[in-house]
């Protein structure tokens, strides 16, 4: 009997350690992807814009957590009824998504004395399509 209990204990300990190793490897991969994503965002946006994006993301996540925690006090029947009847926050999420552009503050700075010009060179598409990319970029 003691051998069976000891064997079961050894098996469970081995399974736990193998699982722990897999979880650690997964966390390392997730952190590597997060670091790459952060580097991409850092290279794409100026520091001020990047800061505003991260700030807005943190605020959105915290408000979502607050909404979820306040809904957690309801009993399960009330939450299911709200979901099935459409009286819950799910309908409001669609409206919030539509109005998101108007409710959020802009992430770019305003430069009222700036002019942006978009131009097209006549015949450039036809000319560039018959040449190698290296020829087009150095011309």
Contacting residues for 83 by C-beta, under 8 A, at least 6 apart: 90
Q: Following CA atoms 30, 36, 38, 44 in sequence, which dihedral angle do they give, to the nearest 10 degrees?
A: -150
Instruction: Note the pLDDT tens digit of each residue in 56-105.
Output: 778 777 776 676 665 545 555 565 566 555 555 544 554 555 555 556 66
Task: Supply the pLDDT for residue 12.
Answer: 95
Domain for residue 126, yes or no?
no
Instruction: Note the pLDDT tens digit of each residue in 32-58.
Output: 998 888 888 778 878 877 787 778 778
Domain for residue 24, yes or no?
yes
3-state secondary structure 71-125: HCCCCHHHHHHHHHHCCCHHHHHHHHHHCHHHHCCCCCCCCCCCCCCCCCCCCHH
Q: What value does the CA radius of gyration of the chain take, rounded to a whole number of Å?
A: 28
Domain for residue 50, yes or no?
no
Domain for residue 84, yes or no?
no
At residue 119 the predicted structure's pLDDT band, cuts being 50, 70 and 90, is confident
Structure tokens at 8: 């079961």
Domain for residue 121, yes or no?
no
At residue 30 the predicted structure's pLDDT band, cuts being 50, 70 and 90, is very high
Domain for residue 19, yes or no?
yes
Domain for residue 138, yes or no?
no
The reported pTM is 0.39
Instruction: Indicate the number of domains in the chain.
Output: 1
Task: Indicate the SS3 state at residue 3.
Answer: helix
Domain for residue 12, yes or no?
yes
Task: Supply the pLDDT for residue 138.
Answer: 63
Task: Estimate to the nearest angstrom the gap between the alpha carbon of 34 and the chain centroid.
Answer: 10
Query: In which domain, by residue range, is 22 found?
Result: 1-44
Task: Supply the pLDDT for residue 53.
Answer: 76
């Amino acid at each position: 009997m003691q051998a069976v209990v000891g064997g079961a204990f050894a098996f469970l300990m081995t399974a736990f350690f193998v699982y722990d190793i897999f979880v650690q490897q997964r966390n390392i991969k997730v952190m590597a992807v997060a670091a790459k994503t952060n580097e991409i965002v850092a290279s794409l946006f100026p520091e001020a814009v990047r800061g505003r994006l991260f700030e807005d993301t943190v605020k959105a996540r915290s408000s979502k957590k607050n909404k979820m925690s306040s809904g957690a006090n309801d009993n399960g029947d009330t939450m299911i009824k709200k979901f099935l009847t459409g009286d819950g926050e799910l309908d409001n999420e669609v409206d919030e998504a539509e109005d998101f552009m108007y409710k959020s503050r802009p992430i770019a700075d305003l430069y009222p004395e700036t002019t942006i010009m978009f131009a097209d060179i006549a015949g450039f598409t036809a000319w560039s399509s018959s040449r190698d990319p290296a020829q087009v970029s150095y011309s």
